[in-house]
Amino acid sequence: MVQMQLFNVYVPKYDTGGKFWPIVHSTTIFSLVVLHIIAIGVFGLKKLPLAASLLLPLPVLTLLFNEFCRNRFWPIFDAYSTESLIKKDREEQSKPEIAELFSTLVTAYSDPALKPIRHASNSDERTVPLLASI
């Protein structure tokens, strides 16, 4: 079984670069704070003041941990590493689709103001443009 698992390994064609982890972290921290508040409320309703008072520092400590993680790890997720960007550029330069894309980008958009004005052969005063082209 283990030998056959080696044949089923594949390299993904896309890489998010860890952009999903900040979302997971924020969701987890939010869920923990909500859980702490609910637990404090439940222990308060069950008339267990010692348990409720022991849980009071947990939301504060969780939010402090969140701030530590934001200061320590958030800058890593803002940009890709240079090594991965260079590798991705080299992979894309070898693809023939990229050369075709660059050749179509030259004529992909032309500003209408820069296009030459075409006059009809049977133009009269109503169809002559106000400003003649230079």
DSSP string of 56-121, one letter each residue = THHHHHHHHHHHHHHHHHHHHHHS--HHHHHHHHHHHHT-HHHHHHHHHHTTS---GGGSPP---T
| Paired tokens of 9 | 């390994």
DSSP string of 27-58, one letter each residue = HHHHHHHHHHHHHHHHHHHTT-HHHHHHHTHH
Per-residue pLDDT, 130: 63
pTM attached to this predicted model: 0.52
Per-residue pLDDT, 120: 59
E strands in the chain: none
Tell me the per-residue pLDDT of 75-120, one tens digit each, with 9 for 90 and over.
Answer: 777 777 778 778 888 888 888 887 777 777 777 777 777 777 766 5
- Contact assessment for residue 97 and residue 81, using Cβ atoms and an 8 Å cutoff: no
Tell me the per-residue pLDDT of 19-68, one tens digit each, with 9 for 90 and over.
Answer: 788 899 999 999 999 999 999 999 999 999 999 999 999 999 999 999 99
Round to whole Å and give the CA distance between 15 and 95. Answer: 18
